[in-house]
Amino acid sequence: MDYKYGFRLVKNLFATVTIADIGQQPIDVGDRVQVLLTLGLPCIAGSSILDPVITFGGRVEIMDRPLCKRWGDLAGVVGSPYRTKTLVFTAVSWAGARRQATLLAFKELIKLRNACHDRLGALVVANSNLK
């Protein structure tokens, strides 16, 4: 079963979160179940690079990768609206694995949204100091 969520980062920029059941671990590894988390961040329209509003470089890392123009992988073909990163979660129950994936995804996206808001706040402060 797949679970899909949209997450507003700023204004008209949305990230996507998909959590898909994979199945059990390989038989020689164990008996637990696995889910795949796919986090998608928006690209510039018609481009394969992240939107500059969320491109923080080494200042912000999402899923242990700096938010550079080419963060993650292309979701499909060039011009796809998202770049993605995936991670597998393993647990004794589907609910446990999905919970781990959901918590990490939203923790990372909240970190990114906070960075965007902090940047905007710094601009507001700079503008207020013009007087």
- What are the sequence ranges of the domains in the chain? 2-128
Q: What is the pTM of this model?
A: 0.88
The predicted structure's pLDDT at residue 55: 95
pLDDT at 17: 95
pLDDT at 129: 73
Handedness of CA 52, 56, 62, 64 (dihedral sign): positive
Q: Which 3 state secondary structure label does DSSP give 122?
A: helix
pLDDT(46) > 90: no
Going by C-alpha positions, the residue among 127, 40, 28, 36 that lies closest to residue 76 is: 40
Partners of 38 in beta bridges: 18, 86
Mean pLDDT of the chain: 91
